[in-house]
Amino acid sequence: MRHDHVAIIGGGFSGTLLAVNLLRHDGPRATLIERRPHTARGVAYAAAHPDHLLNVRADNMSALPDDPGHFARWLETTHGGRIKGFAPRLVYGDYLDALLAETIARAPGRLRVVQAEAIDVDPQATDMRVTLANGEMIAADTVVLAPGNLPPHTPAGIDPASLADGCYAADPWSADIAAGLTPDDVVLVLGTGLTMVDIALLLDAQGFSGRIVALSRRGLLPHAHADGVPKTQRAERPEPTAIGLLQALRTRAGEIDWRAAVDELRPYTQSIWGAMALPERHRFLRHLRAWWDVHRHRLAPSVRQRIETMREAGRLQVGAAKLIDAERDGAHIRVRYRPRHGDAIETLRVRRIVNGTGPQGDLTATQEPLLRALVTRGLLRADPLRIGIDVTQDSQTIGADGVASDRLLAVGPMTRGAFWEIVAVPDIRRQAWSVARRLSNAQWVGGEGL
């Protein structure tokens, strides 16, 4: 297969890293298509507030798997040791910007950045034709989708159109999340995970001094990293079943710090997932996912401390409950919910609801024009768990006919059905690197197993 020109749709972390690695491997020229005004930062590193910190330490946030100290060195050079440990996400966005600019400058003419929305891909005998919303068409040998997560669904029980203006915030990172709120107001956040933490910090930073109530089915808050936890290594992969994983974790957490027990699974996670039978994957998602998420994706200690301070002051309440419905009450909303482990229905009068339920991956429910077009063409299908785009272990998309394509690939969180652990930088950087090497025919040069 010829890969002289690769079109990458989506210029967030995943797409940018793929483009950077294509150039680093002296691979095909690339066109990076991004619909937002800003390339490289994506959702995570663009709309952040200075209080939003990375949840991975700087020394593990290099964008380049073959140069683990790259980010830490950049940080030292640009900020002279003033930022230690968990850097602000905005600073990480600056790093990605700088990396892209430097790569383009080093290989003039090999990478074109196009600001436009891609709405379709039409496979022809000789090339792939990407249609942009502005009417332009880009022909490439290979197309790589890097669209990021799908936005959260509107939670069941909420009809935003029935509520007064400003009562429902679908975008948790929107700049004016605290606009119009008074200290007497109550804000309901749906979700209690990392997105809720972002929302609470944002409301606090924007001067909201009223009460925040955060609800999710289990009411679990992300744990924090701890200093001085020694790095350990597991001797073998746990049994690839939901119960096998749970037992292995419990046993090790009885022997070493639970954080180390979770972290030492990292080299095995993708292979455990790959070896899990489909019913086991279902079981994991249904029973363990929420627990996995709060132990695996941890907060910087200072962030968790701020959340605790807000809780102790009564400004943030976190609970386990199921939302039943939300009804307009003048400029407010009357919310009904059922607390977990109870039958009683409780009512809460709030000024605003913020959707903090986190990203989605169900391709069959997406409103994204490009993804809908590709599903309609039979070029993409949902993975069996409906958590993303169905791909092979080589990130080739699998069409409705079950056949893998070497001309249409996908990278990033939407490939979680195949890899599960493909959300954070350390995993995506490796995927982008490997795909770039294969497209550059560089895989035989060495460096496998990063």
Q: Which residues bind ligand FAD (CB under 6 A)?
A: 9-15, 33-36, 42-44, 54-56, 117-118, 146-149, 198, 370, 412-413, 423-425, 428
CA-nearest of 154, 126, 194, 155 to 321 is 155
Residue among 173, 66, 123 nearest 429 (CA)? 66
Minimum CB separation from ligand FAD for residue 146, in Å? 5
Comparing CB distances to ligand FAD, the nearer of 22 and 242 is 22
Instruction: Order across the sheet with 211-216: list the strands.
Output: 168-169, 352-355, 186-190, 211-216, 316-329, 332-339, 346-350
Backbone angle region of 265, left / alpha / beta, with phi > 0 → left and psi within -120 to 50 → alpha: alpha
Give whichever of 196 and 326 is closer to ligand FAD, judged by the CB atom.
Answer: 196
**Considering the complex, what minimum distance in angstroms separates the CB of residue 133 from ligand FAD?**
8
Residue with Cβ nearer ligand FAD (15 or 361) = 15
Region of residue 135 (phi > 0: left; psi between -120 and 50: alpha; otherwise: beta): left
What is the Cα 294 distance to its own chain's centre?
A: 14
Query: How far apart are the C-alpha atoms of 407 and 127, rounded to whole Å?
Result: 9
| Lookup: tokens for 187 | 């804000």
| Nearest approach, Cβ of residue 123 and ligand FAD (Å) | 17
Residue 173 CB, shortest distance to ligand FAD, in Å, is 7
CB of 48 to ligand FAD, least distance (A): 7
Residues contacting 206, CB < 8 A, separation 6+: 177, 178
* Least gap, CB of 299 to ligand FAD (angstroms): 9
For residues 377 and 388, give the distance between their C-alpha atoms in angstroms, rounded to a whole number: 17
Query: Measured from the CB atom, is 133 or 275 closer to ligand FAD?
Result: 133
Q: From the CB of 119, what's the least distance to ligand FAD, in Å?
A: 7
Of residues 297 and 322, the one with the C-beta less far from ligand FAD: 297
Identity of the residue, 423 or 442, whose beta carbon is nearer to ligand FAD in the bound complex? 423
DSSP 187-213: EEEE--SHHHHHHHHHHHHTT--SEEE
Q: Name the 3-class secondary structure at 148.
A: coil
Nearer to ligand FAD, 68 or 210 (CB): 68
Query: Do 223 and 229 contact (CB within 8 A), yes or no?
Result: no
Strand partners, 44: none
